[in-house]
Structure 1
Amino acid sequence: MATIYDVARLAKVSKTTVSKVVSNTPYVSEETKKRVLEAMEQLQYSPNLAARGLKGKRTYVIGLIVPYHAEHLFHDPFILDIVLGVESTASDYDYSVLLFMPKPTDKRGVYDRFLRTGYVDGVVTLESHAGGIDDTILDELGIPRVSAGYREDLKQINSVHSNDRLGGYLALAHLLELGHRNIGIISGPANFVVAVDERLQGAREAMAEWGIQLDPALIGYGDFNVGSGYQVAQQLLEREQRPSALFCMNDRMAAGAMYYAHNHDLLIPADLSLIGFDDIALPTIVEPPLTTIHQSPTEIGKTATQHLFALINAEIESFATITLPVELVVRQTTAAPYARSIHMGSSLK
């Protein structure tokens, strides 16, 4: 790989002169500048990020603010796929990504250390629990910013997310069309910003079309991991009149509910129908394969980052929220209620 010294040697100038050409410093003659640029092209020399930053007054780094504990981040395939979309798009633009994971107790300090010091040209933020992203500080700093998810301040600008309300509607409509009426919901955290509320609202709208009200007692709150899905399934399925179906707001909690069913001799879907949300790799691995709502986290990350670069490059001043489509993927965990008693003549559990 060519170095700045190789360029200087070929162009017959000093290393300092090469640095001046790279950073577009004045007082370098056009003839000298031409020789240096030709040498750089011949040697396929790429200036380092610092030099490029001096030239274009940029750092060639974007920030990714993920307000989760590391254990949550690195165990959640959905979040990792968003990160993949951000990183791959940044790479296409020859940018690096700097990951921020602010703690609630030191949020101001993280923003001051990394954002106020000019380390990044823009940031992508991920939706989080309430209080995870400080929109006030970001607006105050004036750094180009796009949300991969919903903005905590609920402004309908510069954000990219899935159609969560439609996803909730499709999930419940599918179960209702199969004949289920006693339906439990394993929700995400009650203090999640917007996505959970949107999915619940879609579920309510579907049930209203069938003349049914969503019973708050049939909603349990997990934290998106497998263990919480197991625990909430236990709460709901040990009721005197257990639900015939569960709508789980992500696939990992659906897997937890499936484990509970298997451990308590409930056949899926004969005794219990399950539907998840996300369509990560998991639904095709578990047995039986999981019916779920498909969304595209990698596309969320890519679209958010593409629009961040449009903001950085002053191609746009802002953009209206982009809502990406979702779809129902029917596999083998949903069927008419209590199919075992109908088809096998066995008693209900």
Structure 2
Amino acid sequence: MANIYDVARLAKVSTATVSKVLSNTPYVSQHTKKRVLEAIEKLHYSPSLAARGLTGSRTYVIGLVVPYDPDYLFSDPFLLEVIRGVESVANDNDYNVLISMAKSADQRSAYTKLVRTGYVDGAVTLETFEGNIASKVLEEQGIPFVSIGYSDAPNRHNSVSASDYTGAYEAISYLIKLGHSRIGIICGPSHFMSALEERMRGINDALQAHAIELDSSLLTYGDFTLDSGYKACNELLSSENRPTAIFAMNDRMAMGAMRCAREYELHIPHDLSLVGFDDIPMAVLVEPPLTTVRQPAVEMGRCATQKLLEMINADVREFESIVLPAELIIRSSAAAPHWGRANS
């Protein structure tokens, strides 16, 4: 494998000149630059990331900061779709993606580990927890980044999200129009930030628009996993004030609720309607296919990465946060409540 000394010998220049060409320093003649580039191409030389970092040139590596542990990340289809979007744009632009994940119960570690590497040109962050850790760790180091989620910066700059409010509003409005007034809500963890706050705001506004008050006994919590959806649904169905419909704040919890409902020998949607959020690939494969709110996961990853590359290229320093549309996808898991149950 060729190294910088081989390139310098073939081009008949110093290693310092090779470094200047690699870092695109302007003080190199076009003739010399041409010789160096021809030598690099002939030798198939690729400078190491560490060497690039030392010269101050680009590494063509972007960080993807995931504040979850690996077990959680690789079991979440929505997050994997986001990563697919990030990778597609990075790959199209000859960038590599370095994923930094958190240690269990320590979301900050995902950011600090990335900073310690010292050779990323910028980062895309999944900013879902309270406190916006990225803005505290990455900004201190001068690393440009774009958040997929909600930024706490003034005027909400440099973030890409889906319209959580609109998605939740449309989902609840749809269930109400079907005839449901007792709607169970399976919310996410209380330490999650703005995405769930926006969804709850959409739920409340939809209920109020139809003169329905949110019943706290119909509100329960999960952690976005199948098992937590199962447990939350069991809590709702075992109460005296059993709902006729359930809105879960992600598809996996809705699928867990579906399994629980079957154990109660409830037919979906005849006895219980279910609506999820995300539209992961499995949503269309379960029986019955899940009515859900589609978040454009791949497009969120693509958009965030494209904006990051614009920041790295100094085309923009900051941009007004982008909100992509969420869409209610109607399938077969929700229907009008069985006669006599809606107001019994």
TM-score by length of 1: 0.87
Cα distance change of structure 1 residues 249 and 110 upon mapping to structure 2, 3 Å threshold: closer
What's the CA shift for 1:86? 1.3
Cα distance change of structure 1 residues 54 and 69 upon mapping to structure 2, 3 Å threshold: closer
User: How is 1:1-349 mapped onto 2 (pairs within 5 angstroms)?
Assistant: 3=2, 13=12, 16=15, 19-20=18-19, 21-22=21-22, 31-41=31-41, 43=42, 45=44, 47-50=46-49, 57-103=57-103, 111-112=111-112, 114-115=114-115, 118-131=118-131, 133-151=133-151, 156-338=156-338
CA–CA distance in 2 between the matches of 1:291 and 1:12? 63
8 A Cα contact 2:159 2:321, kept in partner? yes
Partner amino acid for 1:253?
M
Specify every segment of 5 or more residues in structure 1 that has no aligned partner in the other structure, as ranges: 343-347
CA deviation profile, 1:148-203 (whole Å, cap 9, x unmatched) = 11125675110000000000101000000000001100111111111111111101
CA deviation profile, 1:240-275 (whole Å, cap 9, x unmatched) = 131000001111001001001111110000000000
Is the deviation greater in 212-221 or in 30-39? 30-39
Count, aligned residues: 341
CA deviation profile, 1:32-64 (whole Å, cap 9, x unmatched) = 5433434545x4835334465567622221111
CA–CA distance in 1 between the matches of 2:228 and 2:161? 24
CA deviation profile, 1:272-327 (whole Å, cap 9, x unmatched) = 00001111111111101111111111111111111111111110110111000011
SS of aligned partner of 2:138: helix
What's the CA shift for 1:110? 6.0
Partner amino acid for 2:65?
I
8 A Cα contact 2:183 2:247, kept in partner? yes
CA–CA distance in 2 between the matches of 1:29 and 1:318? 34
CA–CA distance in 2 between the matches of 1:145 and 1:67? 15
Specify every segment of 5 or more residues in structure 2 that has no aligned partner in the other structure, as ranges: none
Partner amino acid for 2:267?
L
CA–CA distance in 2 between the matches of 1:331 and 1:106? 38
TM-score by length of 2: 0.88
What's the CA shift for 1:95? 1.4
Cα distance change of structure 1 residues 97 and 326 upon mapping to structure 2, 3 Å threshold: same
Instruction: Give the fraction of aligned pairs with identical amino acids, expressed as a percent.
Output: 49
Cα distance change of structure 1 residues 48 and 255 upon mapping to structure 2, 3 Å threshold: same
8 A Cα contact 2:2 2:43, kept in partner? no
CA–CA distance in 2 between the matches of 1:152 and 1:10? 52
CA–CA distance in 1 between the matches of 2:241 and 2:25? 77
